C-alpha cells in the first residue's frame, strides 16, 4: 500500500471516535476543562493553576502510552511522517502558530467546541479542514512538499 492510500476501518474508527468523545465529556464533567491538546500542552509547559500541570501531564502521557500499549500487545501502529526533517519542522511550526492564532487546536475546536455548538469553533474547524484539504491536494497533485 502506498502512503497515499488509507485503510478504511469503520469499526475501529467508531470505537476510537466514541472513546475520544467519552474522554472529552468526562474531562469536561469532572475537571471543567476542554480536551484540547494545545491547551493541555500549554498547561503542562507554562504557568498553570495548582494541580493543572499534573492533570495535563496525565492527559499527554495517555496519548503517548496508548500506542506503546498497542505495540506491546502485538498490534502494529503505523504513523507516516515526511522523511524530510526541514518539512517536518516547518509543519510543526505552522501547526503551533495556527493553534495559537486560532486559540485552540483541532481537538479543542473540532471535538469539544462543535459539541458545545460554539460558532467560533465551527469557523476554526472549517479553516482547519480547508487548510488540510488544500495541503493534501498540493502535496499529492502539485508536487509541493
Whole-number pLDDT of residue 4: 53
pLDDT at 126: 93
Which residues have C-beta within 8 Å of that of residue 79, sequence separation ≥ 6? Answer: 67
Considering the domain boundaries, does residue 132 fall inside one? yes
Residue 3: inside a domain, yes or no? no
Domain count, the chain: 1
Q: Does residue 135 lie in a domain region? A: yes
Given a cut of 70, whether residue 6 has pLDDT beyond it is no
| Residue 60 is assigned to a structural domain of this protein | yes
pTM exceeding 0.75 = no
The per-residue pLDDT for range 82-108, each reduced to its tens digit, is 677 888 888 888 888 888 888 888 888
For residue 100, give every residue at least 6 positions away whose Cβ sits within 8 Å of its Cβ, in sequence order, or none: 38
Residue 47, in any domain of the structure:
yes
Residue 20 is predicted with a pLDDT of: 86
Domain with 91, as residue range(s), is 10-141
| 89 in a structural domain | yes
50 occurs within a structural domain: yes
The b/e string for 112-131 (b: 16+ C-beta within 10 A; e otherwise) is bbeeeebeebeebbeebeee
Please say if the pLDDT value at position 133 is more than 60.
Answer: yes
Residue 1 lies in a domain: no
Using DSSP's 3-state secondary structure scheme, residue 143 falls into: coil
Amino acid at each position: 500500500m502506498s502512503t497515499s492510500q488509507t485503510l478504511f476501518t469503520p469499526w475501529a474508527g467508531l470505537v476510537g471516535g466514541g472513546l475520544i468523545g467519552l474522554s472529552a465529556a468526562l474531562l469536561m464533567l469532572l475537571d471543567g476543562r476542554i480536551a484540547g491538546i494545545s491547551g493541555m500542552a500549554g498547561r503542562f509547559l507554562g504557568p498553570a493553576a495548582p494541580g493543572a500541570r499534573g492533570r495535563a501531564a496525565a492527559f499527554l502521557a495517555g496519548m503517548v502510552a496508548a500506542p506503546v500499549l498497542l505495540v506491546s500487545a502485538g498490534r502494529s501502529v503505523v504513523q507516516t511522517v515526511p522523511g524530510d526533517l526541514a518539512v517536518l519542522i516547518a509543519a510543526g511550526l505552522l501547526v503551533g502558530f495556527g493553534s495559537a492564532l486560532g486559540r485552540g487546536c483541532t481537538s479543542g475546536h473540532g471535538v469539544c467546541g462543535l459539541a458545545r455548538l460554539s460558532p467560533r469553533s465551527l469557523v476554526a474547524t472549517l479553516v482547519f479542514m480547508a487548510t488540510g484539504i488544500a495541503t493534501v491536494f498540493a502535496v499529492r497533485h502539485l508536487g509541493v512538499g
